[in-house]
Chain A
């Protein structure tokens, strides 16, 4: 039935308008970010990305400390969250009985639902004192010869922010990796075991590599979340635009500086520099999210394809 009736045409049009709205709003967002950052783009050009000075008095703005802080905290969070997350996902997908796996997954999904401001509050009241009193001094005395662990133990800083972010992104890595691992066809595992592999060898050397792209996708998703996180980071990072080799140093991230300075940026170039930072963050997360979805789709297609062989 190719021709739709009149009533159908109306419904089609109305629903089309709503669908189009989604596209329009997204385009408008990109447009506003682009136009809203015109001044600093013209004035600083590429230098914006390599300058470290952030001086509202002399109208000199450079994004480097914020890009650095964003990347470093996200990096620390992944270093902590990926092993833990994949480990947990392996347990849930391969070892745990189905019931236990579902129940634990349920709780982990709830972890993902906790609002970021609550992670921030817990960061302020629990993680920061823990860092300052115990963990940072311990790291300093044991690994203090590395420039990574030098400098005074403030409690706030890159490392603390990274730890809080790690807690926030673990659920994403676990959920997606678990799904992907579960979708690996049985015959892969069984073939490995039949060839004499131990349970671990079958998992680590056969199943996980099979699901590799999907797991990578989950990591990219987690990374995108970590990069864009605002509240939890601004409450524990120290809010100081600094580039330092030490993980204990206070720092700043793109999202945090926008949250702190947006309502008070007097002067067009100040405000627009913050908007340009927003644009940078948007582009970063855009690319990562795109990669993530590509990888996850690639895995699931591959999985279903192989099963029919």
Chain B
């Protein structure tokens, strides 16, 4: 072996090890984040946290019950906006549209996807807060729903397109109308992927804070109905973490753990569903 070859092999070994180091660093960061959160968060999770309303400033013993429910309501509303639009729009793109329309819709969806969340917040403020003269769960849900649309739309379209031709043709050969084919054959064939898409979109917006700052604002109490400001986990985390109160810091950790736990569970679930295999064997 020449010296040059030895050198090259040395360099090769070194550089490849370095890439391993990079990968390890990336994963270590994740585990560190999780570990830190679990450590600080689990010591603060208490019955109070889940059941009590926030206490007045400076007093301990408060909780985030209203933030948890508030986040739930916001996400429900977001799903009601994001899922139908994404799902039905995707059906149009996959089954009915011509190429120009499809291009325009996809382009718009990608554009919407790339809009920074704070700008979506501005948009929702102009549309849903100013004209009605109050901050509300509706405005917050609208902002989050808008963010869900592109994700559900693009992913659903992909999975619908992936359904094999022979299924469609078989249904049509048996005399089914297009609508019936979609409803009874195509969508069920793609449902795993669609569900995954919805779950991932959900997880994405569950942690969003910026769009809620000027739409849902915040609430120290239970938010009645849909037209009042509401508390939410991400906004509470933001406010409490920046405060000087130890008690609030602890609650912020607990909330962070709950939020992250929720998001990770949804992600893992989504991937598990998809990984269970394509529901239709490809021929």
Please tell me whether chains A and B touch each other in their complex, using a CB distance cut-off of 8 A: yes
Q: Which residues of A contact B (CB under 8 A)?
A: 1, 4-5, 7-8, 10-12, 14-16, 18-23, 25-29, 32-33, 36, 83-88, 90-92, 94-96, 104, 106-111, 113-122, 124-126, 167, 170-171, 174, 198-201, 203-204, 224, 227-231, 235, 255, 258-259, 262-263, 274-275, 278, 281-282, 285-286, 288-289, 293
Which residues does chain A contribute within 8 Å of B221, judged by CB atoms?
A: none
Q: Which listed residue, A29, A85, A116, touches B207 by the CB 8 Å rule?
A: A116
Q: Which B residue sits closest to A256, measured CB to CB?
A: B118
Chain A: minimal CB distance from B3 (Å): 14
Q: Are A8 and B26 in contact (CB under 8 A)?
A: no
Cα(A235)–Cα(B210), bound, Å: 12
Q: Which A residue sits closest to B263, measured CB to CB?
A: A113
B101 within 8 A of A: yes
Q: Are B179 and A33 in contact (CB under 8 A)?
A: no
Q: Are A204 and B15 in contact (CB under 8 A)?
A: yes
Chain B: minimal CB distance from A284 (Å): 9
Which residues does chain B contribute within 8 Å of A116, judged by CB atoms?
A: 207-210
B115 within 8 A of A: yes
Q: Are A1 and B172 in contact (CB under 8 A)?
A: yes
Q: Which listed residue, A200, A281, A288, touches B12 by the CB 8 Å rule?
A: A200
Q: Which listed residue, B21, B150, B204, touches A87 by the CB 8 Å rule?
A: B21
Q: Are B89 and A22 in contact (CB under 8 A)?
A: yes
Q: Are A23 and B26 in contact (CB under 8 A)?
A: no
Contacting residues of chain B (79-134) with chain A, CB-CB under 8 angstroms: 84-85, 88-89, 91-93, 95-97, 101, 104-105, 108-123, 125-127
Extra inter-chain contacts (19) besides given A88-B19, A94-B19, CB under 8 Å: A12-B178, A14-B88, A19-B101, A21-B89, A22-B105, A84-B22, A87-B23, A88-B26, A104-B27, A106-B271, A113-B263, A114-B260, A122-B36, A198-B9, A230-B116, A259-B118, A262-B213, A263-B214, A293-B110
Known A23-B108, A118-B259, A204-B15: A111·B92 in contact at CB below 8 Å: no
Which residues does chain A contribute within 8 Å of B122, judged by CB atoms?
A: 32-33, 36, 258, 262, 274-275, 278
Q: Are B108 and A198 in contact (CB under 8 A)?
A: no
Which residues does chain B contribute within 8 Å of A285, judged by CB atoms?
A: 114-116
Which residues does chain B contribute within 8 Å of A203, judged by CB atoms?
A: 16
Q: Which listed residue, B206, B242, B260, touches A124 by the CB 8 Å rule?
A: B242
Q: Are B27 and A8 in contact (CB under 8 A)?
A: no
Q: Which listed residue, B29, B88, B115, B207, touches A167 by the CB 8 Å rule?
A: B29
B278 within 8 A of A: no
B33 within 8 A of A: yes
Q: Which listed residue, A109, A121, A200, touches B252 by the CB 8 Å rule?
A: A121
Chain A: minimal CB distance from B246 (Å): 12
Chain B: minimal CB distance from A301 (Å): 16
Contacting residues of chain B (137-196) with chain A, CB-CB under 8 angstroms: 146, 149-150, 153, 172, 177-180, 182
Cα(A94)–Cα(B12), bound, Å: 13
Q: Which B residue sits closest to A235, measured CB to CB?
A: B242
A-B contact pairs, 5 of them (CB 8 A): A5-B178, A19-B105, A21-B85, A91-B19, A118-B260
Which residues does chain A contribute within 8 Å of B27, judged by CB atoms?
A: 104, 107-108
Which residues does chain B contribute within 8 Å of A28, judged by CB atoms?
A: 123, 127
Q: Are A199 and B12 in contact (CB under 8 A)?
A: yes
Q: Are B209 and A231 in contact (CB under 8 A)?
A: yes
Cα(A122)–Cα(B18), bound, Å: 27
Cα(A32)–Cα(B264), bound, Å: 35
Known A11-B179, A18-B89, A96-B23: A115·B206 in contact at CB below 8 Å: yes
B256 within 8 A of A: yes
Cα(A229)–Cα(B259), bound, Å: 19
Chain A: minimal CB distance from B19 (Å): 4
B241 within 8 A of A: yes
* Residue picked from A10, A16, A29, A174, most chain B C-beta under 10 Å: A29
Q: Are A118 and B37 in contact (CB under 8 A)?
A: yes
Which residues does chain A contribute within 8 Å of B21, judged by CB atoms?
A: 87
Which residues does chain A contribute within 8 Å of B123, judged by CB atoms?
A: 28-29, 32-33
* Residue picked from B92, B110, B125, B150, most chain A C-beta under 10 Å: B92
Cα(A275)–Cα(B122), bound, Å: 8
Q: Are A228 and B116 in contact (CB under 8 A)?
A: yes
Chain A: minimal CB distance from B208 (Å): 7
Chain B: minimal CB distance from A81 (Å): 10
Cα(A117)–Cα(B153), bound, Å: 26
Which residues does chain B contribute within 8 Å of A4, judged by CB atoms?
A: 177-178
Cα(A259)–Cα(B260), bound, Å: 22
B237 within 8 A of A: yes
Q: Are B207 and A26 in contact (CB under 8 A)?
A: no
Cα(A88)–Cα(B92), bound, Å: 39
Cα(A171)–Cα(B25), bound, Å: 12
Q: Which A residue sits closest to B267, measured CB to CB?
A: A113
B30 within 8 A of A: yes
Which residues does chain B contribute within 8 Å of A25, judged by CB atoms?
A: 112, 146, 149
Q: Are A200 and B264 in contact (CB under 8 A)?
A: no
* Residue picked from A10, A14, A94, A118, most chain B C-beta under 10 Å: A118
Chain A: minimal CB distance from B40 (Å): 8
